[in-house]
Amino acid sequence: MENLPPYISWVFIATSLLTLFFLYKASRHSKAVVIIALAWLVIQSIIANSKFYTETQILPPRFLLLVLPPFLLIIILFVTAKGKAFIDRFDTRWLTWLHIVRVPVELVLFWLVIQKQIPQLMTFEGRNFDILSGLTAPVIAYFGYHKQKLHTTLLLIWNFLCLALLINIVANAVLSAPFPFQQFAFEQPNVAVLYFPFALLPAFIVPAVLFAHLVCIRRLLSKKKTTAGIAYF
């Protein structure tokens, strides 16, 4: 990673901060969100920069420290009363705009392939079509939330399809990383995510994107249920 062109790291760091900006706007300027997110970014940056995650043959995998906390937090938010009340305050319009960060992420992944740090299957030239989510996000945000021209069902379909694209690339990324359970890409494993700043992809950007989809889906399903109830009466 020492010979990596600096612009790749800087673009990715900027993308991580852009993700934080969208979360801040979506949380209606919550200081708690910013403080917790910044603390997590700093902690993971320090750990990743120490090359702690490059030891991949230890069980349990050190990588769990990178990905488990944010996913546990998401679960807690969705299953507890206080958590539900908290996420229901989020602005789904800004959560939809957040998905544009998936475009620069895909560009960074493409550059990392050129630098032989990840396998080609993780890009839009391989099995990763997640860039479509980022490219369509402005259209959905503008016409779906600003203009309110899109039906709730269409917004749900978009969120579910983009969530499927996210799950697809996450699965491929995990199974191509140099872990004991690696399944493919042995000629060029996914090693970039073990180093700073790219470790922030599974630690922060992916959980943020997942959170955005889940909150929007929850809100849209609730809206659909309420609308159906009104129509019934």
Q: How far apart are CA 74 and CA 119, in angstroms?
A: 29
pLDDT at 229 over 80: no
pLDDT tens digits for range 77-125: 999 999 999 999 999 999 999 999 999 999 999 999 999 999 999 999 9
**Average confidence score pLDDT of the chain:** 94
- pTM value is 0.94
The domain locations on the chain are: 6-232
pLDDT digits (tens, 9 = 90+) for 31-57: 999 999 999 999 999 999 999 999 998
| Residues constituting the chain | 233
Q: Which of 104, 96, 94 is nearest to 136 (CA)?
A: 96
